[in-house]
Amino acid sequence: MIMSDIIIYRRKRGSTGQWKCREKAMLKVELQAGRFVVFAKLANMLDCNHNDAVMFGFSKKDKCAYIFKETPEEDSYYLRQAGPGRPYFRFTSKNLAQFFTEIFDLEPEEKVVYFEAGDKNNKGWLRLMMEV
């Protein structure tokens, strides 16, 4: 049997984000829905679990964001486990997603952006840089 007439068609992934979230400390922002996903490595760096509170800071000059764990406040963002056995947390805030759009000069048609955590600053906040 000659195999030259056989074509193998492999499945294509809808998003490369499925794999990078396991390898890097990342924050995913779904801009239109206002959903934020904190993947396991980032949550570990923050020492966060289900129902922990986080907050964000921004530097327009450096074009970066900061994320840090805080004592729960009325205006905190609370991480919720995505489900049993799922290694990530999420919360929703359309206002915060809009602020990310403005700070990072994102195009309105962009749907999802990823931010990778870097070093901590002198306050202990993790720096988030947009992945290009």
* Structural domain count, the chain: 1
Asked, for residue 26, whether it belongs to a domain, the answer is yes
**Does residue 20 have a pLDDT over 90?**
no
Would 55 be classed as within a structural domain?
A: yes
> Which is more confidently placed, 119 or 20?
119
Average pLDDT of the segment spanning 62-82:
94
SS3 content of the chain, % helix, strand, coil (to 5): 20, 35, 45
- Across all residues in the chain, what is the average pLDDT? 88
Confidence of residue 46 (pLDDT cuts 50, 70, 90): very high
2 located within any domain: no
Cβ–Cβ < 8 Å for 53, 61: no
The answer to whether position 9 is within a domain reads: no
- Whether residue 7 is contained in a domain is answered as no
Please give the model's pTM, rounded to 2 decimal places. 0.82
Whether the per-residue pLDDT at 1 is higher than 60: the answer is: no
Q: What amino acid is encoded at 11 in this protein?
A: R
Question: For residue range 52-68, what is the model confidence (pLDDT) as tens digits?
Answer: 999 999 998 888 999 99
Residue 10 forms part of a structural domain: no
Q: How far apart are CA 73 and CA 20, in angstroms?
A: 31
Confidence of residue 10 (pLDDT cuts 50, 70, 90): low
Q: How far is CA 31 from CA 78, 116, 123, in A?
A: 18, 16, 28
Any idea what DSSP says for residue 103?
Answer: H
- What burial class does residue 68 get, using C-beta atoms within 10 Å of its C-beta: 0-12 exposed, 13-18 middle, 19+ buried? middle
Q: What are the angstrom distances between the C-alpha of 8 and each of 1, 4, 5, 11?
A: 16, 11, 10, 10
Provide the residue range defining the domain that includes 38: 17-130
